[in-house]
Structure formats: C-alpha cells, structure tokens
Structure 1
C-alpha cells in the first residue's frame, strides 16, 4: 500500500503573542439610564458592569479584528507572512458571506492562508484556541492567528434593558505557535443543544434574546465542573492555577464560579479576571480581551498558569489551561 507524506507537527503548542482592541466610545450606566428604565445601582447589582465600549456605525467587526490580530502578531515578534492560518471566532457578522477571517487575513497581510470563522458564541475563543492548537500540533500550520471579535451592538435592541446593559463591542487575539512542551492544555468542551432557546436571535430581522435567570442558573452550576475538568486534563492541580479568566458574562456569575473553584482547591490568592466591569460582555472577544488587559496592568506574568473557560449560546462551553506568554 502506498503511504502518504505527512508534514511533521509539534510536540506541543503555546500562545506566543496577544493583542486587543476596543472602540473609543464609552457608554456608562448613567448614559443608559437616560434612555431606558434603569439606574447605575440596578445594573451594578445585577451584572456588575459600570461601563462598556460601543463601536460607531462605521466601525466594522472586521476592522476591530484586524487591529487586535495585527497587535498579537507584533507582540509575538512575527511578521504577517509567518502566519499560516487565521481563525475568527464570532457570532455577530452582519452577513454570513463573506466570512470575517479571509478579509482579516488579507488586510493584515497574511497571504493565501486558510481562513475561516467559527461560531460557538461566547465559548468561541476557547473553541478557536483549541482548534488552532491542534493545527499546530498536527503540522497543518506553524503559526495560527486566533481572534475573538464581536460587534454585539448591531444585534441588540438599544432600549431593551435586559440586553443593552450587558453587551458591548471589541476584539482580542492570540498567536498560537509550536512548543517542545505543551503550554496549551487539552480542551474540555461540549454543548447542550436542548437548551439552545435560552439565548438566541430568532431571524435576521431580530435582536438577541436571552432568558437571563435561566442562563444564570445554568452557568453558576454547570461551568465550574468544566473548568475543573480542563485542569485535570492538563495533568495539574487547581492549586497550580495562577489566574482564572472566564467569559465575562456577568460579575455575579464570575464570582460564583470562582467561589466553587476555591472550594475545590484553588488558591485563595487566585487572580480573577473582572474585565466585565469596564468592558461589558463582548462574547467571544471577552477572554482574550481580559487576558491582554491583565497583562497590560502587570497583574500576570509570563509563565503564569491561566485557566480559561467560555460559555454561552448554543448552549456551548469550553475550557483549557494555558501558560501566559
């Protein structure tokens, strides 16, 4: 039997660069209180958000993805021509064709690379990171640009206080490259399609809808075990984790999951990403945004062990342990 040639892969993979982008326009709780029945106190109490970033009509999702992706490539010390695949996790493109990834690759200067979008909503970045890691380890690409980008305000009713107070815009990115040792752990992921109606956009003429209380109960009870499973798959202990970077859905959800992790062995000094407070919920962009902001603030260092976990519409969820670049 004739055997096929195979491109050699890498023993492991790692994040070698990070980048992020947020629009300049800041919308505060007080701004929202002027156009709907809400208040700063009401919003802080329920979701923990103080400010969120909102893109202008002319600022496109692809524009934000390009900015974040280019920063991640530069941070990795690479040129665009070093990138061999581009993945964009998003659920808010204004149309399904063409995809975001091919446009992003072209504008950054990544030439003729495979480029595709991935929609797992708020778990999208973790799904895309796992896919990028597997591409590197299998030898399908040496360096992969992974971006989470969302313009959620295109899909939110601006006067609906159940969604307009939460969702925001932005992009975050990571470059995944080869490593002699695994620095991106095995992914723990799955879905609960029977609950898909809890977060949905009914059709192309509709706004995003979510059953807030149902989502809250699901996330606060079901996500901690996924995070713990990701740690176990990586062959480490919860006490080895330095920083917890969950999807920035709601500060109360974040705190509830972190409390469960500490009850199971996470350290008391575990750093917890709370980017939600000033960035809002940016779906697939929230984890890379939060990770990059923690690094910019000097709250994490290269080599720190970070536990990432995304969850949202689908319902989809995913988590993995990574070493910070």
Structure 2
C-alpha cells in the first residue's frame, strides 16, 4: 500500500493539513524548514499524489460539519435542528462529529475527521479548543464559527451573553426575596463558567449580599453534577434558592432535593439556565433563563454562507438575546407552599 498524507504527517510530526498544503505548494501557515522535512519524508516513504483525491478536494463542497461536545447535556439538539433547517434552505448537507469537551486528544481526532474531508465550513458547538487544536483548525483554512460559547479574543462565535445570563438568573431569585443563593454545576474552565459566575456575583453584590464560597458547586453541566451538588448542599442547607447552570443540572437538583425530603419551590427555589423542552416536561416545571439555541444554529449556517459569498467575515461575534420564562420551580420567599 502506498504512503498517505497521514503517514507523512506522523513521520514529520505535523498536521495532515500542513502536509497537504506543502505538497500542493500553498505557502501559508508553515515555514521553509517544515516544507523541507515534509518533502524529504514524502520521498523516503515513496508518496504518490492521488490525482482523483486532489480533484475531489478541489470540487466545491456543499457539506457543513458540526463538531459537538460529548458532555451529557441536551441543548445541542436544538442547535443542530437550527443548523439542519438553514442548511436545507441553501442545499447544504450536514455531518455531525462528537468530541470531548475538554479532552485534547478527543478534540484533535474529531477535528481531523472533519478537516481531512471536503467541507465548506465547521461549526463547533460549546467546545473550547486547546491552543494546539485551535492552531490546527486555523491552519485548515476552512471557515469556522463557535456556537454557544463566547471568547475574549477574536475567535468568531455566536452565543448568549453568559455574564448577563448568570446575572439574570440570580437577580430573579433576589427579586423574589431570596438572600442565600447557590450556583450549581458550573465548570472550572474559562469562558462560559467564568462569565456566568461573574454575572452571579455581580447580582449578589448589587443586592448587598455577601458571597460565600460554599454556595458554589462545580460540575460539567450534566444531570450527575446536579445530583452531586444537591448532596453537597444537604437536606439542612440554609440556601433558599439555587441557580442551575443547565437544565440537566436543574433536574438533577430537583430529583435529589425530592429524595432528601425537600419541597421545590416551598423549601428551595430553582432557576435553570438553558430553557430547553426539559423544563416543561418535569414536575414542577422549571423556571428558566432561556437561550435561543435554534437561532444560534441558523445563524451559524448563515455565517458560513456569508464567508462563501464575500470571502470574509464582517460580523465576527454575535450575541443572541435570552428571555426569562417563569414556571413552577420558583416562588416568593415568604410563600412556603407549592400547589
């Protein structure tokens, strides 16, 4: 069997996309030393260019790839629905690849799965890439955009304002008379978790409430994180309200609270962040700060379409508005009975 681009990449220690650019005489994103190493390895391995594959790559692609975090949350489905609807309008196909949220190797495998195929754009759903993988993505020269995650640098994204989301959820409970408010299931990594924590603390500070470290329970936005958080708070918690950083965390809190003999919202009010259909199919239904995930998906495809048409990205970063939806899991602190 003849050598492949991947074989050369493994031998030299660079990305397959870099080998492809060197062998195609594209000059961006590598230096002369790298080019020399790649060409030498190609010669040693007896690499022969597959002309049929070259012609396939040159053919204009109509495929959009969605790279999805494998963390067990449920909002990705709504984003994919939005991507699918908008893609169909333009005659595009969609492929979906799953990757670990913070595992660098899993992220790299997912990216290579996409990059090594002819795709017109890549949409990354709630994934914070490490520096090496971000470099790999940029070097591919394929248009990309992050969805449901905002960044401090110039990476293109479409997301909710996570600081505002944390602020809104906390202030809703404060406005209902709660003064001891937890924040459950939040991640330790930058971006989403950090911004929601900032919003949470901002609302407490404005209300003159002294923040306490044990009000925070970390996690990964999953159902299990909600259960673990409620276990840590315990049956005798002095909290009267909790902000859950995802619907799955909120349901984990809700079910564990019931197991501990606590009434929601009589003993404990819960506000969820996300607002997917899960909020409406549990009892009591969950009050939420609802994000428009469907619109994020649609806007992501429109972003790729804009790049295709204009060869550049004008609107680099976009915030999608959120809304408060009050349901049954919150009550005024004075009202201790749930009907």
TM-score, structure 1 length as denominator?
Answer: 0.31
TM-score by length of 2: 0.30
**Structure with greater strand percent:** 1
Q: Which has the higher contact order (CA 8 A, sep 6+)?
A: 1
